[in-house]
Amino acid sequence: MNKRISDIELAELLGPRPMPAEPRHPFKEYTYEELTNAPKKVYLCGDDERPVLLTDSLWQTMGLLKSGKTFFCLELGFCVAFGLEFHGLPTKEGNVAYIIAEGGIGRNFQRVLALCAKYERELRVKFGIPDGDYIAAAMNSGKFNLIDSPVDLANPDPKKGLGVDVLLDQLAHKPYVAVFLDTWARMLWASGGHDSDQNTVGPAVQGCDRIRRALGCTVVMVAHIGVAKEAQGRAKGLSDPAGAIDGATHCSKVGDGPLARYVFRATYQRHAVDGFTIIAQLRESGPNVTLMSDNVANLVKLNKRDSQMLDVLRGMEPGALLADWQVAVEAAQVTGRDGKPLKADALRKAFKRATERLMTADAIEVEGNMVTVKSGPGGDDMVFGTAEEDFLEEDE
């Protein structure tokens, strides 16, 4: 016959309960033992040699208008949420909240659907759905969560407006590894200020830090930069965020047209010696929806002379002879830095260098003695640097 153990007897068997450890005072000095055992931050995406996004950090993704900031961040957050490789880089999987306060949730969801299609095979395997609606399973999993209302980051009062405390209370899929704020400007406007308002920017940075500490996650601010040359190294407005962040990714666009390339440089790092650059293109993934392509290996900035020679080739039949292209280039009177037509010897050398760069840029295809403008990256509709200072070789 089984004898039931009383609560008192059970307590005596288990012994005294361990006392919870007291929280460490923020200003307590570290001992050597504590320092040697302190956990080291790792990367949500990348690693020490290829740093892209750090855990438990404040981060900025910045760039001019139409420089690919949201394309980059949306796919990065998507890959982190589902533990997918991001352009060949490892990610540390965890729940993500993406606050996208521009463009409307319907149109932005089209981008997410395109990402689901891009990673369909990986998502079907992850959720064990070889057939059926894998997208619903992914979006209802609580891993990648969309919000379309800006947060009043500067508001410390939970009873007033849509501030940080309201956001923390509403986030339903804790723990999170990352929260994206897209864009920084919309968050500041929700706080009743702007990026040059000292009464808003500082408290908003504190708001970001409150989110980071409360969730133990990375907070990414998606910010615009100024158009002036001297303003390209940081976000618009006051420099407060630049002094608070652990790192940043600078986004830029090279070239024009549908085959322009986008360069993402994670170069502003406190925890890595060198940065890391990802080069991608945008490609159509459905009606009015585009996505970043895989990482592009080569980026060559063509000068005005290269572009002139490429334009000449575009006017010729596919599979033209290299010799005929060179004759056509000579007839087109390609110019040097001084704006005058190049002399014969200098033109031959320039033609050879341009051919090599155009091949590296994947703008042309050379087979034997024939050459064709490619329709892929770097080919039709690709126009790179056109300023005088973009000339890469000396006239001879």
Residue 229's pLDDT band (cuts 50, 70, 90): low
Residue 95's pLDDT band (cuts 50, 70, 90): very high
Give CA 125 to chain center in angstroms. 25
The residue that leads in pLDDT, 368 or 32, is: 32
Examine the pLDDT at 314 and tell me if it is beyond 80.
yes
Right CATH for 43-292 from 3.40.470.10, 3.40.50.300, 2.60.40.1260, 2.40.160.100: 3.40.50.300
255 backbone φψ class: left, alpha, beta (φ>0; ψ -120 to 50): left
Mean pLDDT of 304-318: 83
pLDDT digits (tens, 9 = 90+) for 359-386: 776 678 888 888 888 754 333 333 333 3
Closest to 44 (Cα-Cα) out of 33, 32, 52, 35 = 52
Strand 144-147 vs strand 95-100: parallel, antiparallel, or unpaired?
parallel
The residue that leads in pLDDT, 14 or 46, is: 46
Examine the pLDDT at 41 and tell me if it is beyond 50.
yes
What is the per-residue pLDDT for 126? 94
pLDDT digits (tens, 9 = 90+) for 168-216: 999 999 999 999 999 899 999 998 888 888 888 999 999 999 999 999 9
Domain ranges of the chain: 43-292, 304-390
In angstroms, the CA 231 to CA 237 distance is 9
Mean pLDDT of 247-260: 76
What is the per-residue pLDDT for 381? 36
Right CATH for 304-390 from 1.10.3470, 1.10.8, 1.20.1250, 1.10.10: 1.10.10
Mean pLDDT of 310-319: 85
What is the per-residue pLDDT for 382? 37
| 165 class by beta-carbon count within 10 Å (0-12 exposed, 13-18 middle, 19+ buried) | middle
Residue 319's pLDDT band (cuts 50, 70, 90): confident
Residue 156 phi, psi (nearest 5): -85, -5
At CA 260, angle to CA 259 and CA 266, rounded to 5?
A: 130
What is the per-residue pLDDT for 9? 66
Alpha-carbon distance values, 5 to 10, 16, 17, 93 (Å): 6, 17, 18, 44
Mean pLDDT of 50-72: 90
pTM: 0.71
Owner of token pair 């615009």: 224
Alpha-carbon distance values, 30 to 22, 33, 35, 55, 110 (Å): 15, 8, 6, 22, 49
Mean pLDDT of 53-74: 91
What is the per-residue pLDDT for 184? 92
In 86-207, where do the E strands start and end?
95-100, 144-147, 176-182
The order of strands in the sheet holding 320-321 is 320-321, 370-373, 364-367
